[in-house]
Chain A
Amino acid sequence: MYKILKAEKLADKIYLMDVEAPRVAKHCEPGQFVIVKMDDKGERIPLTICDYDREAGTITIVFQEVGASTVKMSALKAGDTFRDFVGPLGCASEFVEEDLESLKNKKMLFVAGGVGAAPVYPQVKWLHEHGIEADVVLGAKTKDMVILEKELDAVAGNLYVTTDDGSYGRSGMVTAVVEDLVQNEGKKYDVCVAIGPMIMMKFVCLLTKKLEIPTIVSMNPIMVDGTGMCGACRLQVGDEIKFACVDGPEFDGHLVDFDQAMKRSQTYKTAEGRAMLKLQEGDTHHGGCGHCGGDN
């Protein structure tokens, strides 16, 4: 059992938790993820590591309510436990292994969309701790969906906040901001790291390809075990099939087949919808319409 030490609501449907997991905290690096399983009957859910404290033996996770399992998870409080919490999984971000001196000469741009701010944070923080100030574009739908602004501001070189509806910071999608920075504000970047919804990463990649900025994305396909034994998370990257859980989750964004990845993530849409209905309607939901798989 893995104890939750802190549970906090960051924004509408977005939650942060500190979880006691000493083995994970001791070995994790930016870019890696964990898999959590709430209880005996729960499913295994992959979540990127948002922060870690090696001394305290804790891992910070941030998640968004998107279906039945994450809605149930959001009800957990400090003192509750996860039945299972496994990691760190996947490869660390490439720069962790890179030579620090050559890294210092690189100008890096991070683009975080929505809950993607969570996996961006430990990367920018790591760079900051190693004397590298990277720029960050932080995008959200509206003002109250902006998360980790204060934390990112403390470790980023320049932080550019934008909201789709213009209710806070700049106005418009993250791509508009990136384009503006490069084409109108004279910014030059050697590497871009984009993390967020697949559709956002796709459009950032289309833009950075045009701007000729090499781009790394962190993919979030469906996963089961997260250790490379099933291939549920497979992606087409260039000519190769890659398993996001062991070969990634970070890949060269200009090689990823996003359209295929987005289609694959719809595989269980019907089942997920059913689970959500069952959770919302509780005991009043007994099916019977012939479409929802309820009991008679």
Chain B
Amino acid sequence: MGDVLKKVPVREQDPKVRAANFEEVCLGYNQEEAMEEASRCINCKNAKCIQGCPVSINIPGFIKEVKEGNIEEAYKVIGQASALPAICGRVCPQESQCEGQCIRGIKGEPVSIGKLERFVADYALEHDIKPIGAEKMNGHKVAVIGSGPAGLTCAGDLAKLGYEVTVFEALHELGGVLVYGIPEFRLPKQKVVSKEIEKVKELGVKFETNVVIGKSTTIDQLIEDEGFEAVFIGSGAGLPKFMGIPGENANGVFSANEYLTRSNLMKAFDDSYDTPISAGTKVAVVGGGNVAMDAARTALRLGAEVHIVYRRSEEELPARVEEVHHAKEEGIIFDLLTNPKEIHVDDKGNVTGVTVIKMELGEPDASGRRRPVEVPGSEYTIDVDTVIMSLGTSPNPLISSTTEGLEINKWKCIVADEDNGKTSKEGVYAGGDAVTGAATVILAMGAGKAAAKGIDEYLRDK
């Protein structure tokens, strides 16, 4: 028995080894380690961890089963609330959710809830434990737009209730950000994402790839011509932002979305695939979120020296603590309180460097964070051949602009009720990043879940 105040450590790939491969960094618990970690849970009566979970998993309930070695039972408990536990156990920011609320965290380290969830889900994938589907179909058809975390969750929940669900996906692979955004070394595609989606298929959900709603067909046509009685929009926030500084269209300046899509979805890091990637030898990644960490660690694995250029200080980095820690271990250089002013370009159109300016933190702004302000005269130039812009994304207007009567706000986000996903258009529901702007996987799942409940209530009352 280790120190009860501390988490049972999780096995990871050595930083020096993993910096040169795309294999998963965190190796996860084995059953013995999981049972030991589970025994640290004190099974609170009014468990705060459940309140911290956006989909309210019965955390003490599943951990109790793990403690006793009943892993299949633990999977069933999680399955009541979450359709994608192998994914959430890996990518949720637990420190600000379930684990942030854990009583154990007051005196020592909280229970490692994410790693336990991951262990249970991986066990279910390895042992091919089936999810529990509907007893009979209810004869109603629902369309889901987008196969990211929101759409998959909504589709899975509706299928469990007996609905005939079809998911429409614009890309050629299912999973949304889980396949094009989050890299292999954090979330394996074959081993985890596609198997987890198989479980949604086992519930009877149908999938159609290569359908761009707003172009290949529209929501109105799905309702009028194809007999769908309700629609859930989970199309995400995939439109990248650029800074608008000189030189931004040079060869070697990429949006993080492009860089990650080439590497993750198109497998450009693997020579046997046809899509190229211009990896760069010295790379500046602009931004401090999870996407910036993913892009930086991808560039590092493709052989580059990588700098994170972020305008605030380490304390404000929006990325998960674990990812920042992993990035540092692997040798990513953090240029904090620094902001790009101009990208330099040679006569062939290639990037040769980026001029940045030092920043200092001023008064708190509307978001409560201290506003970064430029330090006059502190400009200097970093020699780089690649710049990756990771400044956040906003919803693509393709769906809102082609659907009659769908209200959007000034950020082009779809306006939807938080409790049930209801939009301004009858029978049309929405959730995830399409509504909130770029957020987290688990919040998208929570919204997909709420909308499934909303759609069920709507169609039962109709």
Interface of A toward B, CB cutoff 8 Å: 23-24, 26-27, 37, 41-44, 68-69, 83-89, 224-225, 227-232, 234-236, 241, 246, 260, 263-264, 266-268, 271-272, 275, 293
Q: Which of B217-267 contact A (CB under 8 A)?
A: 217, 238-240, 242, 244, 248-249, 251-252, 254-255, 257-258, 261-262, 266-267
Q: Which of the segments B271-279, B315-323, B354-362 contacts the partner chain?
A: B271-279
Q: Is the CB of A87 within 8 A of B274?
A: no
13 contacts between A and B (CB under 8 A): A23-B217, A26-B217, A27-B217, A41-B272, A41-B274, A86-B170, A225-B170, A225-B171, A229-B239, A260-B249, A260-B349, A266-B251, A267-B252
Chain B hits for A86, CB < 8 A: 170, 172, 210-212, 216
Asked if B137 CB lies within 8 Å of chain A CBs, one says no
Interchain CB contact (< 8 A) of A264 among B171, B180, B249: B249
Contact B396 A227 (CB under 8 A): yes
Question: Once the chains bind, are A88 and B276 in contact (CB under 8 Å)?
Answer: no
Task: Return B23 CB to nearest CB of chain A, in Å.
Answer: 19
Task: Give the distance to chain B from A288, nearest Cβ to Cβ, in Å.
Answer: 15
Which of B249, B262, B273 neighbours the largest number of chain A CB atoms within 10 Å of its CB? B249
Beyond the given pairs A224-B275, A228-B398, 7 more chain A to chain B contacts, judged by CB atoms under 8 angstroms and listed by A's residue number, are: A43-B266, A84-B210, A234-B249, A236-B249, A260-B349, A263-B348, A268-B278
| Chain B 330-369 per-residue mask, 1 if CB under 8 angstroms from chain A, else 0 | 0000000000000000001100000000000000000000
Q: A83 → chain B, closest Cβ, in Å? A: 7
Is A264 within 8 A of B251, CB to CB? yes
**Of A37, A85, A266, which one neighbours B348 at CB under 8 angstroms?**
A266
> Is B258 a contact of A230 with CB atoms below 8 Å?
yes
B13 near A: Cβ within 8 Å? no
Give bound CA distance, A27 to B349, whole Å: 38
Given contacts A267-B251, A272-B276, A275-B274, contact A228 B238 (CB under 8 A): yes
Chain A contact residues: over half helix, strand or loop, or mixed? mixed
Given known contacts A37-B172, A86-B216, is B258 in contact with A267 (CB within 8 Å)? no
Minimum CB–CB distance for B387 against chain A, Å? 13
Q: Are B274 and A43 in contact (CB under 8 A)?
A: yes
- Give the residues in chain A near B244, CB-CB below 8 Å: 241
User: Which of chain B's residues has its CB closest to A294's CB?
Assistant: B271
Closest to B276 in A: A271
Residues of B within 8 A of A272 (CB): 276
* A229 x B396 contact (CB < 8 A): yes
- Residue B70 CB within 8 A of the other chain: no
**A263 and B267 in contact, given A84-B209, A229-B257 (Cβ under 8 angstroms):** no
B274 touches A23 (CB 8 A): no
Instruction: Give the chain B neighbours of A225 by CB distance below 8 A.
Output: 170-171, 261
B215 at the interface (CB under 8 A from A): yes
Closest 9 CB pairs of A and B: A263-B349, A271-B276, A230-B258, A229-B238, A86-B210, A84-B172, A43-B274, A43-B275, A231-B255
